[in-house]
Amino acid sequence: MPLPRPPLILAAIHTSAALLATTSLTLTLWTGLEEPGVALAFGILVAVGELSRWNGTTGLRETAPLGAAGALSYALLGADAGHSTHHGVFQTVAVVVAAALVGCVPHIARGHSRTPDHMARRILTVGFAAVCFQPLYNQGVFRHWGGPAYALLLLALLSLTALCDAVLAAALAHSRTRWPFGPLLRDELRGMLGVGSAVCATGAVMALAVAVVGLWALPVFSLPLLLTQLSFRRYAAVRDTYRQTIASLARSTEIAGYTPAGHARRVAALCQAVGRDLGLSEPDLTVLEYAALMHDIGQLSLVDPVPAGATAVLPPEEQRRIALLGGAVVRQTGVSPQVAAVVERQADPCREQPVSARIVRAVNAYEEKTRAGGPGGPLQALEELRLGTAGDYAPEVVEALARVLSRDCLTLPSAG
């Protein structure tokens, strides 16, 4: 069954989260808190986790792992130092919502646009975990489960919750970007194997430890996850520096006058959009972005610049020579050999190219033809690419390019 149009998905997720949060807060204020000390301890943990949430560009699925682990452990908490708890579903959601709102204040003040989506995911996933556990536990279903069976139960519930969160994250990304839902969900599920596994394991261990030794277990088991979060920040800083280095190298052709200003950035952005439409994974998209940024670096070896840097109109032999020279330059810079391979093969015969090289070739040609075609350049360029799909450009790449452009409200000719 096809998904509803993206705005409906976004509205449905945000509305569901708002209704659950409002209902939980209202009922909790009306009936009062059960075990207020426990609620306060977990609320502080969630708030600290949200305050330390990072809004960088690492591609990390869970930007507040400590807050997520604290919220999930409270949803699956059945006892405190051997005494049964009775906080239930609505109090669980209410405590997490209140703490998350406190922790999100600095992020909202800085204008981070992803905060509403983050909050919606947190509310719905915690609600899902609490609904699966709290009613059955309060009815005594799990009270006689002990040892490995109880631990496996918590891990199973957390795995289902992580799956729910992955679906929500993919749906939200699909609604905002209109990228294909399937590849987005696949990347979210792959991301669960990293920090997502640590969040689930920590959430389960916290719930089990608090049930035995009490609330003193919270700071002890929070420290490793906090250190992991700091490690990801350092990794992100290195990755951002690496990308800036590649972008600076890509600008060398513009500074030297071989290519027009902004050409590499435009090609890289459009290549990523086409790659997402074709379902490339995030590691492949990273390689594609770097290769697109550096696809013209071989022109630095030319004695006379190509007019307007337009290599698509050169003879095939000259295109291959420039591509091989570019690949050699990329290898000397220490960039990934995968990036160099894409740069080298962008001028190979279409059927022999990997998909990343096919994308770079088609998008580069489209950008050059559009720039030379004046007001009617985009439509004319796309039609020329379609006519060249017999051997120069991959048909699936050209049609993916057409879909990407159509989402930007460009009127396109029919495929026929």
Q: Predicted confidence band at 413 (pLDDT cuts at 50, 70, 90)?
A: very low
Question: Mean pLDDT, to the nearest integer, of 199-221?
Answer: 87
* Tens of pLDDT, residues 308-341: 767 777 888 888 888 888 888 888 887 888 988 9
Question: Mean pLDDT, to the nearest integer, of 348-360?
Answer: 88
| Residue-level pLDDT at 372 | 66
Say how far apart CA 355 and CA 396 lie, in whole Å. 10
User: Does position 153 have pLDDT exceeding 60, yes or no?
Assistant: yes
Stated pTM of the model:
0.78
User: Does position 129 have pLDDT exceeding 90, yes or no?
Assistant: yes
Q: Predicted confidence band at 28 (pLDDT cuts at 50, 70, 90)?
A: very high
Domain ranges of the chain: 6-238, 251-407
User: Does position 3 have pLDDT exceeding 50, yes or no?
Assistant: no
| Residue-level pLDDT at 23 | 95
**Cβ proximity of 186 and 17 under 8 Å:** no
Spell out a b/e string for 287-322, using b for 16 or more CB atoms within 10 Å of the CB, else e. bbbbbbbbbbbbbbeeeeebeebbbbeeeeeebbbb
Q: Predicted confidence band at 73 (pLDDT cuts at 50, 70, 90)?
A: very high
The angle at the Cα of 400, spanning 398 to 404, to the nearest 5 degrees, equals: 115
Say how far apart CA 295 and CA 314 lie, in whole Å. 15
User: Does position 90 have pLDDT exceeding 90, yes or no?
Assistant: yes
| Better-predicted residue by pLDDT, 375 or 121 | 121
* Tens of pLDDT, residues 264-319: 889 999 999 899 888 888 889 999 999 999 888 888 877 777 777 677 778 888 88
Q: Predicted confidence band at 252 (pLDDT cuts at 50, 70, 90)?
A: confident
Highest-confidence segment of 108-117, 162-171, 178-187:
162-171
- φ, ψ at 103 (rounded to 5°): -70, -25
Question: Mean pLDDT, to the nearest integer, of 354-359?
Answer: 91
> What residues contact 205, with CB distance under 8 A and at least 6 apart?
221
**Cβ proximity of 322 and 354 under 8 Å:** no
* Tens of pLDDT, residues 363-393: 988 988 887 666 566 788 888 888 765 578 8
| Residue-level pLDDT at 89 | 92
Coil, helix or strand at residue 80? strand
| Residue-level pLDDT at 125 | 94
Q: Predicted confidence band at 132 (pLDDT cuts at 50, 70, 90)?
A: very high
| Residue-level pLDDT at 14 | 92
| Residue-level pLDDT at 112 | 64
Question: What is the full DSSP assignment across 52-79?
Answer: T----SS--S-S-HHHHHHHHHHHT--E
Phi-psi sector, 357: left (phi>0), alpha (psi -120 to 50), beta: alpha
| Residue-level pLDDT at 415 | 38
Range name among 162-166, 304-308, 340-344 with the lowest pLDDT average? 304-308
Q: Predicted confidence band at 62 (pLDDT cuts at 50, 70, 90)?
A: low
| Residue-level pLDDT at 416 | 38
CB atoms under 10 Å from CB of 414, counted, come to 6
Judged on CB neighbours under 10 Å (0-12, 13-18, 19+), 186 is middle
CATH class of the structural domain 251-407: mainly alpha
